[in-house]
Amino acid sequence: MDSPCHPEEREARRLLAWYDLNARRLPWRSPPGTPPPEPYRVWLSEVMLQQTTTAAVAPYFARFIDRWPTIGELAAADEADVMAAWAGLGYYSRARNLVAAARFVARRGGFPNSEAGLRELPGVGAYIAAAVAAIAFGRRAVVVDANVERVVSRLFAIAEPLPAARKAIRTATDSITPAESSGDFAQAMMDLGATICTPRAPRCLLCPLAPDCAARAEGDPARYPVKAAKKTKPLRRGRALWIARNGAVWLVRRDGETLLGGMRALPGDGWSAQADGEGTPPGDWRDGGTVRHGFTHFDLELTVLVAPEDATPEGAGEWWPIDRLGEAGLPTVFAKAARRALT
């Protein structure tokens, strides 16, 4: 039985005891109660995990650590190599910021150890700064990712719809975050949301916070967090050109100022916000089919046009061996288009 203490202290103590026994074993973590992992590993994993699942991130993290085992080696890497290694993870601005932040840290001589200092790194916002400060440096920080957001909204039955509810969720999370073991506490909250307090069919009977959970007391914890109605994403259309000869395909680099900037890609019309994808280049081009891909703010329908044998590429680019296309680091949408052209 719990000894008398404030409810907030009781919740933290129950959660940390649960985490000691149930912590997920992840390559960027240290086990509960052991010295913290290197800041580089924590920061790298948190950047990769933004809007990406743990299962998807794990192999990328392993490859990055194998190729660039220290922040200094990542800082010295060619940005194009990092972008290619990132291909498939999506949200490619993260990869550009990764290189910029690594160079910032290398010039500084090490990671800042406070939230304010970490916020100075390119691409590091409030969440990553708090996570690195807590997990790598043992600082008390309020760490709120999507899993924590779900746990806390249920624990306190916060009925205001997202995203407006985030201020109340942060305040509630702050109220239960302990001064000690804040890194383990943050990771325990993440694990609880990932394995027990899941979006659908939460496993309340196994939850260490169930005795104090207001949503469970109401009888319908899965209704939290309350979400505003989704807006329909606009559909853009565009074209990707497959120009091949002698076992190689013509690839270009996308403009650094555009979406997927700096990445190798099939040439095309750029599918800007106004692009309608109509028309074909002059010559006997073959319709290679259509692929569809979802981005954060829009969906893309990309028509693949296969060039006649005498087609001549325009502008800067490179011939890439088709049998090594998997090494080109094509973003997912262009990898889909290439597969379509090859079928």
Question: What is the 3 state secondary structure string of 161-190?
Answer: CECCCHHHHHHHHHHHCCCCCHHHHHHHHH
Which residues have C-beta within 8 Å of that of residue 167, sequence separation ≥ 6? Answer: none
pLDDT at 274 over 60: no
- 35-41-47-49 Cα dihedral, nearest 10 degrees: -70
> How many other C-beta atoms are found inside a 10 Å radius of the C-beta of residue 164?
10
CB atoms within 10 A of CB 294: 12
At residue 157's C-alpha, the angle toward residues 1 and 201, to 5°, is 80
pTM attached to this predicted model:
0.77
pLDDT band at 183 (very low <50, low <70, confident <90, very high): very high
Q: The domain at 235-342 falls in which architecture?
A: Alpha-Beta Complex (3.90)
Q: What is the pLDDT of residue 168?
A: 97
Residue 8 has pLDDT above 80, yes or no: no
The predicted structure's pLDDT at residue 282 = 66
CB within 8 Å of 312: residues ≥ 6 apart = none
Strand partners, 241: 305
CA distance 108 to 117: 11
Q: Give the per-residue pLDDT at 212.
A: 94
Cβ contact 195:151 at 8 Å: no
160 assigned to active site: no
Give mean pLDDT, residues 259-282: 67
Contacts of 278 (CB under 8 A, 6+ apart): none
Strand partners, 302: 238, 291
Q: What is the mean pLDDT of residues 275-303?
A: 79
Mean pLDDT of 19-25: 96
Model pLDDT for residues 55-83, shown as the tens digit of each residue: 999 999 999 999 999 999 999 999 989 98
CATH superfamily, domain at 7-223: Hypothetical protein; domain 2 (1.10.340.30)
Q: Residue 135: is its pLDDT beyond 90?
A: yes
The residue annotated as part of the active site, out of 8, 11, 38, 46, is 46
Read off the pLDDT band of 196 (50, 70, 90): very high
CATH 1.10.340.30 intervals, the chain: 7-223
Residue range(s) occupied by CATH 3.90.79.10 in the chain:
235-342
In this prediction, residue 42 carries a pLDDT of 97
Per-residue confidence (pLDDT) for residue 92, from 0 to 100: 83
3-state secondary structure string across 114-163: CHHHHCCCCCCCHHHHHHHHHHHHCCCCCCCCHHHHHHHHHHCCCCCCEC
